[in-house]
Amino acid sequence: MIPLSLDDVPADLREDLRDLQTLNDDALWAVTRSRLAPTMSSPFIHRALLQEAVNDKVRCLTCERRCLLADGQTGWCRTRQNQGGTLYTLIYGAVSSLSCNPIEKKPLYHFYPGSSALTAGSWSCNFACPWCQNWDISKQPPSGGEFISPADLVARAQQFDCQGTSISFNEPTLSLEWALEVFPLAREARLYNTFVTNGYMTGQALELLVQAGLDGMNVDVKGNEEGVNEYCGADVEIVWRNCRRARELGVWVEITTLVVPGVNDDEASLEGIARRIVADLGPETPWHVSRYYPAYQFTAPPTPVATLERAREIGQRAGLRYVYLGNVPGHAGEHTFCPDCGTILARRGFLRLERCDVTAAGRCPRCERNVVGVGWAWTKRKDMTRPVGTPAVSTPE
């Protein structure tokens, strides 16, 4: 039996247990567990798919933290718990945030541009970033929310005339079991599926997501090895590994770096990320350098626009063809330019597509250069007549 203090007891139970300070750990846990038992009927509690028994403990295999949990313990992310020797997720279908967003908000600029994705978020995260822009949900343990079944999510996407689904806002890997049921249903409804992720899932989880119908990912590469370890408590090499594997499996991948002053805004860090994208994913991979604003535990001033413009130049100098500025509404860095002739191929403003002139064949209308991406011409069809699970991806010649 593991030690348990009153700090580990849910807030609504603490007052009832104030008089039990003299109980030993085992007795306190027994009382608490008896009170928690009814919650096992909650629709949010669902047997975790990826787990393995290790002696009298259970190891979670959802993300690369691979938490080893004794009975009653909760993982680093606080969304998975060992209950009686079986690992459960506590956030199956638990939706903290739901909105129909332009795909450009993910951001995904070369993936069904101008389309909308019904975007769902849940609770918590498996990274420790002290500047999180969505800290109000990502730094919260499971906190209820609306239960939305996979079928209901897909039905709502159709009702709102969305072209796809997206699991985002907090780390979507934590919603693995739910996503694996959402994606096939969305595919049947001819909707695409996307993740906005830190890329820290296990290889097994990634393979299952792709098999279920994951079509596109925006992966947040937060810095170099030292920075990601210090601020996020993670190994960035795992993120790069998953980016490479996702591309190998046919998933469309774009990279975002939130440029944080004093963390990853130096030239060496930015150049290192840009060169790594070129080497691991190819020079045609879109890179979004986004503006940070003070949030959560970080008080550095907002990223100067000049820093983002310098980052764009660094990326282009490293060989990247498509480098975009994010969180700077109205900046020309939102647009897609032909790398050969300079023609503006896609105009964007305030995270929305205003005009797209890429041809149905995925080419520049002026010089006919191939423009990488998925679904450039979807708006020219009245509906998504081709299943999006087998997208026609334009590749460089």
pLDDT digits (tens, 9 = 90+) for 28-59: 333 333 333 335 679 999 999 999 999 999 99
Q: How far apart are CA 239 and CA 393, in angstroms?
A: 23
* Residue ranges of the chain assigned to CATH 3.20.20.70: 94-394
Q: Which of 25-39, 71-85, 251-265, 295-309 has the lowest mean pLDDT?
A: 25-39
**pLDDT band per the 50, 70, 90 thresholds, residue 380:** low
> What are the tens digits of pLDDT across the range 280-290?
999 999 999 99
pLDDT, average across residues 50-79: 98
- Residue given tokens 């190891």 in the structure block: 59
Q: Looking at this protein, which amino acid is placed at residue 90? A: L
Count of other CB atoms within 10 angstroms of residue 287: 26
> What are the tens digits of pLDDT across the range 202-216?
999 999 999 999 999
pLDDT, average across residues 328-335: 96
Q: What is the pLDDT of residue 72?
A: 97
- Residue given tokens 């739901």 in the structure block: 98
Omega before 304 cis (within 30°)? no
- Residue given tokens 């975009």 in the structure block: 324
- In sequence order, the 6+-apart residues with CB closer than 8 A to the CB of 176 are 49, 50, 62, 89, 201, 205, 208, 209
The answer to whether residue 109 scores a pLDDT higher than 90 is: yes
Fold of 94-394: TIM Barrel (3.20.20)
The answer to whether residue 227 scores a pLDDT higher than 90 is: yes
The answer to whether residue 393 scores a pLDDT higher than 50 is: no
Torsion of CA 105, 313, 215, 207, to 10 degrees: -120
Closest by CA position to 226, among listed 210, 237, 240, 215: 237
CA–CA–CA angle 131, 137, 140 (5° rounding)? 95
pLDDT, average across residues 329-335: 96
Average pLDDT of the chain, as a whole number: 89
pTM score of the predicted model? 0.88
The answer to whether residue 336 scores a pLDDT higher than 50 is: yes
Q: Looking at this protein, which amino acid is placed at residue 181? A: E
Q: Which of 9-13, 45-49, 351-355 has the lowest mean pLDDT?
A: 9-13
